[in-house]
Structure 1
């Protein structure tokens, strides 16, 4: 039986929307289970996601189901070693990515944040999944703990950087201009 470690709920700041998820301990690792509902340029989306993580906080697989802009979504991502598949088809462009980064939720920042040392920097690569589509590409990310629960975040391919406030579990509290936590 999964043991809940923490829950989080966010409000989108750049569009109408919200997201909520639960982090649970399961046999041989962890699991993120969430639901994102939002409206963007393509219309309304309601997406459920389940991300399975190893003991090392790296992504093993992710399932995303629901609806986006009136179209059904049923996506499965799997990582075996450094190889990724999308709905059972190999995706060589994502080779060696440690995690999945679902652009529609702040929940997937959790994995690198859990691996981030108390003092220092973590450079990692994620399989960046964006809507519509999905559009998939590699995203090189760096997380630098500046003090306590404040982390500098940068993503090279999107030329984006910001400062995140995070909680003791690794969930983002404040993602300036994009997300804010509601349940604290």
Structure 2
């Protein structure tokens, strides 16, 4: 983040014709890192959901803690040492070993985490193994994703498993502006 970063609010809505929903997140510096406090209201596979989350990220943009809960009662608490060891609700998760980032299915804000952490230069590419959090049931699985810096303000996201690809324009701080066919940035 720029040295003058104090507090930021970002909001996305569903792309026209998409039922993805709306997300609101407050981002602020805290304890030598960054806190994200967000809410997502959306629809996935014809199921409506509401999700609240809090993420704590260290100065190197590594997720250290994620707390998620839905209005239907699903809860998830992940903690990481920032080096690839994870605990879910207090229990070590060897299957997640080596994951640094998380991807919350319904949230474009989590795409910013690897974009900022990797600091890829034009043409640079990195393949990641990360914790994928499905919504609305909050199950965690390992996903393989690829990020390529097309220029300073455009990144290609690829899901290695599904073949899904999206070119993500970002602002000066690396936060996703639009996620084509899914989310449009409002603020």
Query: What are structure 2's unaligned runs of at least 5 residues?
Result: none
- The answer on 1:21 being equivalent to 2:25 is yes
Matched with 1:131 is: 135
- The 5-angstrom pairing of residues 1-184 of structure 1 reads 4-13=6-15, 14-15=18-19, 17-41=21-45, 43-67=47-71, 71-80=72-81, 81-115=83-117, 116-119=119-122, 120-183=124-187
TM-score for the superposition, normalised by structure 1: 0.88
SS at structure 1 position matched to 2:73: strand
Distance in structure 1 (CA, Å) of the matches to 2:46 and 2:171 = 32
After superposition, the C-alpha distances for 1:69-127 in whole angstroms (9 at most, x for unaligned) are xx212210111232212111222211110011111111111111112324222332210
CA distance 1:76–1:42, change in 2 (3 Å)? farther
When the two structures are superposed, what TM-score results if normalisation uses the length of structure 2? 0.87
What SS does the corresponding residue of 1:113 show, helix, strand or coil? Answer: helix
Conserved 8 A contact 2:70-2:136: no
SS in 1 for 2:74: strand
* Contact preservation (8 Å) 1:10, 1:179: yes
**Structure 1 residues not aligned, in runs of 5+:** none
Offset at residue 16 of structure 1 (A): 5.0
CA 37–132 in structure 1, closer or farther in 2 if over 3 Å, else same: closer
Q: Which moved more, 1:117-126 or 1:159-168?
A: 117-126
Pick closer, same or farther for the CA change 1:24–1:122 going to 2, 3 Å.
farther
Alpha-carbon distance in structure 2 between the residues aligned to 1:21 and 1:76: 18
State which drifts further: 28-37 or 85-94: 85-94
d(CA) in 2 for partners of 1:23, 1:172:
14
Give the CA RMSD over aligned residues: 1.7
